[in-house]
Structure 1
Amino acid sequence: MKYLVLVLIAFGCSTPAEKFGVHGDEITPENAISMNQFLTQVNEEEKTFKVRGVIEEVCQMKGCWMTLKNEDGANVRITFKDYGFFVPKDISGSEVIIEGIANEEVLEEDVARHYAEDGGKEYDESMRNTITFVARGVLVKEG
C-alpha cells in the first residue's frame, strides 16, 4: 500500500506534458533553442536548427509561411519544405517549435513584395534582408 501511495504521489506531482499539433514531419520539442540563441547562431551558411518561438504573423492566403517574434527586429520568415504542408491561418500568437534549415539572405524584390502583399503590408526595401527558415516540421502548442 505504501508503494501505491508513493507511485500516485509521483505521478500527481509530475508536470503535465506539453501538447502540440503537428504539421509536416514529426519532430520532438527536445533541445529546441530560443529565438535569441537562434539569432546569434544563424549566418549566411545554411545550417539545421530547432527553435522555440511565438508566431507573429501567418500567411492569410493559405498558411504557406509564418514569421516569428523576436526582440531585435530581425525579419524571420518560415516557409515549409517542398511547399508540402501549411499551418492554420489563425495561430498568430501561438508558441511553436520548428525544425529545418536556416540562413541569412537578401530576397529578390519580387519575392519580398509578394510576402508583403500576402501579409497585408506595404512593401519596404528593408524587407529584402531576411533570415530564411525552411521548416521540415512544425509543432504548434495547444492550450
Structure 2
Amino acid sequence: MKKLVLVLFSVVLFTGCKNEKKVDEVAVVEEAVQEKYTIYGDEISDTEVLTKSQIIEKYNLLTPGDTVAVKFKTKVNEVCQNKGCWMKMDMGDIEAMVKFKDYAFFMPKDLAGEEVIVGGKAFVSEMSVEEQQHYAEDAGKTKEEIAAITEPKRTLSFLSNGVLIPVKEEQ
C-alpha cells in the first residue's frame, strides 16, 4: 500500500511540474508580444499571421454568411476620426472594414499608414447605401462625395477581438 501511495504521489508531482513549464513558456511568449507591440483588445499572438495576399485569397473564397477566424497583417488605410471605432485595411484594389468586438476598444486616430496585426473573424457582407454614407460622414468626406454613394456594395468585413500595433523604436 505504501508503494502504491508513493507511486501515485510521484506521478502527481511530475505531472504538476510539466504543467508549470508550459505555463512558464506561455508567459515568456506573452512577454515577448508585449515588448514588441501595443495591444488593443484581447491579447493575441504574432504567430500564424496571414500576409495581405493570403487573407485576400481567404476573402475570395467566402460568400455572405461565411466566417473564418484568422490573424493577418497589412497597412491601415483609414481610421474613424470621431473616436477610432473602425478602420479600413489595405487589400489591394479594395479595403476590408474592421470593427471591434462589442466596441470594447478603439484605435488611435493617427494610425493610417501603419502596418498592424488584427485577429478575429473575417466575413463578406453587403453594405447598404445608408451605412456607406454614415462611414463616409465619419471619415470627413464632403457632402458631394457622400451624395455620390447610390448603390449597395459587397464588402470585406472583419470583427476584431485584438490588434497588435508595433512599438516604434526610439530614435
TM-score by length of 1: 0.81
SS, match of residue 121 in structure 2:
strand
For the residues of structure 1 that align with 2:75 and 2:152, how far apart are their CA atoms? 20
Q: Cα distance, 1:93 vs. partner? A: 1.0
Partner of 1:108 in structure 2?
128
Deviation sequence 1:2-23 (CA, Å, 0-9, x none): xxxxxxxxxxxxxx98711100
Partner of 1:97 in structure 2?
117
User: Which of 111, 129, 138 is equivalent to 2:154?
Assistant: 129
For the residues of structure 2 that align with 1:140 and 1:111, how far apart are their CA atoms? 27
**What pairs with 1:22-101 in structure 2 (closer than 5 Å)?**
22-42=39-59, 43-44=62-63, 45-71=66-92, 73-101=93-121
User: What CA RMSD, in Å, does the superposition of the two structures yield over aligned residues?
Assistant: 1.9
Matched length: 127
For the residues of structure 2 that align with 1:37 and 1:135, how far apart are their CA atoms? 17
Partner of 1:10 in structure 2?
none
SS, match of residue 130 in structure 1:
strand
Change (3 A) 1:120 1:87: same
Change (3 A) 1:27 1:48: same
* Paired letter, 2:101: K
* Paired letter, 1:46: T
Q: Higher relative CO (CA 8 A, sep ≥ 6), structure 1 or 2?
A: 1
Q: Cα distance, 1:112 vs. partner? A: 1.2
SS, match of residue 40 in structure 1:
helix
For the residues of structure 2 that align with 1:126 and 1:65, how far apart are their CA atoms? 21
SS, match of residue 48 in structure 2:
coil
* Paired letter, 2:77: E
The structure whose residues are more often helix, as a share, is 2
TM-score by length of 2: 0.69
Larger Rg: 2
